[in-house]
C-alpha cells in the first residue's frame, strides 16, 4: 500500500533502505537484519515462506527458507528448509554487477509483495522482488521470488534474446538450474516426494539443502510462453492501445506428454512493449497507475554495442500510494 523512490550508494545502502521500508507501513517483520554480515530475513502473514536476502559489494541474492535458524545470524544453508545447498551468492539466484552508486530505486508494495526496480547505473536497470502468488485453485504454498542476472560476455550482453539472461519473473535461462525465479509449492501432482519448491529450469535433478527434489515451473512473461508474441506487437495504429500483459505461473512436469498446470499470477506486475514510452513513465489505466521500465536498457535493436540492451522489452509495476 505504499511506494518509495530515492538513491542509494550500493547494495548495503539499498538493502538497509529496503529493510526500513518493509518494516514500516507495509508491515513485514525483520526476523534478522545484519548489516555486518550482509543478511536479512523478512516474513509476513499471508506470505507462505520467509525470504532470506544476502548481498556483497557487487550482488544481491534472494532465497526462500522454511524457518529461520537459531541463533539467527547464520548463513543460508544453516536456515531450516533452505532452497539452496550453497551459501555462495554467485552459485544461487542473484542480481549481478550492482556496485553502485544507484541514480534511482523504486519500491512497489501492496499487501503481500515487494517489487524493486534499481537503476544500477545511468539508464541500466535490475529488478528483484518477492511476495505471494495470486493463486488459482487450492494448493499449499504460493511465495514467489526473483532476481535479475544479465550475462556479461561480449557475445550475449547486447542480445536480450540470449538464454543466458534471467530477468525477473519474466523468463530467460531455461537451462540454468540456479538463477531462475522460484515458487514455494508442496503436494502438487507430479511433484516429487518431499519437494517444497519449484524453479524455472529445464533441469530435472535440482535439490534443496535438505536434498529434497525441486520441481519445474515457467512464468509466461517476457521470454517465455505467450507473452513473447504479445511483446512483438507495438501500439495499435488505430487507438494507440498497448496491453499490460499479466505474468502467469505454470508448474511444468517433463513427461510424455509434458504436463503444464496454471498455478496463478504475479500480482501487479506485467510485461509491456516500451515502444513509444519513456523509461519510468507512468501510465494511467482506469483508477490504476503503472510505472514502466526496460528489462535492462531500452533501445538499440540490432546494434552490436557490447553493452546491456533489451530493445523495447519492458516490465510494468502498479504504483499503490494509499
pLDDT in tens, 192-213: 999 999 999 888 899 999 999 9
Mean of pLDDT values over 17-29: 97
Q: Is the pLDDT of residue 257 over 80?
A: yes
Which of 153, 176, 208, 179 shows the shortest CA–CA distance to 60?
A: 179
Please state, for a pLDDT cut of 90, what percent of the chain lies above it: 70
Mean of pLDDT values over 174-184: 83
Mean of pLDDT values over 135-148: 96
Q: How confident is the model at residue 161 (pLDDT cuts 50, 70, 90)?
A: confident
Question: What residues contact 280, with CB distance under 8 A and at least 6 apart?
Answer: 104, 106, 291, 292, 293
Q: Residue 259 has what pLDDT?
A: 85
Q: How confident is the model at residue 175 (pLDDT cuts 50, 70, 90)?
A: low
Which H or E run includes 204?
A: none
Mean of pLDDT values over 99-114: 97
Q: Residue 233 has what pLDDT?
A: 59
Q: Is the pLDDT of residue 131 over 90?
A: yes
Cα–Cα dist 185/201, whole Å: 15
Q: Residue 302 has what pLDDT?
A: 64
Cα–Cα dist 321/109, whole Å: 9
Q: Is the pLDDT of residue 222 over 80?
A: no
Q: How confident is the model at residue 168 (pLDDT cuts 50, 70, 90)?
A: confident
* Segment among 19-23, 67-71, 96-100, 216-220 with least mean pLDDT: 216-220
Which H or E run includes 316?
A: strand 313-319
Comparing 34 with 276, the larger pLDDT belongs to 34
Provide the CB-side half-sphere exposure for 16 (13 A, CA): 13
Cα–Cα dist 298/314, whole Å: 8
- pLDDT tens across 40-89, in order? 999 999 999 999 999 999 999 999 999 999 999 999 999 999 999 999 99
- Mean pLDDT over each residue of the chain, to the nearest integer: 90
Long-range contacts of 233-236 (CB under 8 A, 24+ apart): 233/273, 234/273, 234/275, 234/276, 234/312, 235/273, 235/275, 235/276
pTM: 0.95
C-beta atoms surrounding 204 within 10 Å: 13
On the 0-12 / 13-18 / 19+ scale of CB atoms within 10 A, 111 is middle
Q: Residue 94 has what pLDDT?
A: 97
Q: Is 31 left (phi over 0), alpha (psi -120 to 50) or beta?
A: alpha
Which H or E run includes 151?
A: none
Q: Residue 47 has what pLDDT?
A: 98
Which of 320, 319, 243 shows the shortest CA–CA distance to 277?
A: 243
Q: Is the pLDDT of residue 38 over 80?
A: yes
Amino acid at each position: 500500500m505504499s511506494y518509495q523512490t530515492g538513491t542509494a550508494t550500493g547494495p548495503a545502502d539499498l538493502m538497509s533502505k529496503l529493510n526500513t521500508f518493509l518494516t514500516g507501513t507495509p508491515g513485514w517483520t525483520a526476523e534478522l537484519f545484519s548489516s555486518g554480515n550482509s543478511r536479512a530475513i523478512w516474513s509476513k502473514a499471508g506470505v507462505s515462506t520467509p525470504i532470506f536476502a544476502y548481498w556483497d559489494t557487487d550482488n544481491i541474492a534472494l532465497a526462500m527458507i522454511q524457518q529461520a535458524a537459531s541463533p539467527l545470524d547464520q548463513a543460508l544453508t544453516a536456515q531450516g528448509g533452505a532452497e539452496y545447498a550453497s551459501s555462495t551468492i554467485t552459485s544461487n539466484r542473484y542480481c549481478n554487477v550492482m556496485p553502485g552508486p544507484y541514480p534511482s530505486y523504486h519500491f512497489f508494495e501492496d499487501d503481500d509483495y515487494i517489487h524493486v526496480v534499481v537503476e544500477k547505473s545511468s539508464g541500466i536497470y535490475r529488478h528483484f522482488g518477492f511476495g505471494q502468488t495470486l493463486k488459482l485453485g487450492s494448493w499449499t504454498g504460493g511465495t514467489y521470488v526473483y532476481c535479475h542476472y544479465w550475462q556479461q560476455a561480449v557475445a550475449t550482453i547486447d542480445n536480450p534474446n540470449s538464454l543466458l539472461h534471467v530477468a525477473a519473473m519474466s523468463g530467460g535461462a531455461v537451462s540454468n538450474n540456479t538463477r531462475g525465479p522460484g515458487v514455494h509449492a508442496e503436494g502438487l501432482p507430479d511433484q516429487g516426494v518431499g519437494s517444497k519448491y519449484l524453479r524455472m529450469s529445464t533441469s530435472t535433478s535440482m535439490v534443496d539443502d535438505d536434498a529434497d527434489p525441486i520441481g519445474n515451473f515457467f512464468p509466461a512473461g517476457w521470454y517465455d510462453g505467450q507473452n513473447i508474441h504479445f511483446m512483438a506487437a507495438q501500439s495499435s495504429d488505430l487507438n494507440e492501445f498497448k496491453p499490460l500483459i499479466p505474468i502467469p505461473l505454470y508448474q511444468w512436469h517433463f513427461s510424455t506428454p509434458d504436463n503444464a498446470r496454471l498455478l496463478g499470477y504475479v500480482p501487479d506486475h506485467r510485461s509491456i512493449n516500451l515502444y513509444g514510452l519513456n523509461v519510468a513513465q507512468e501510465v494511467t489505466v482506469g483508477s490504476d497507475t503503472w510505472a514502466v521500465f526496460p528489462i535492462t536498457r531500452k533501445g538499440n535493436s540490432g546494434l552490436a554495442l557490447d553493452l546491456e540492451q533489451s530493445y523495447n522489452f519492458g516490465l510494468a509495476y502498479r504504483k499503490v500510494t494509499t
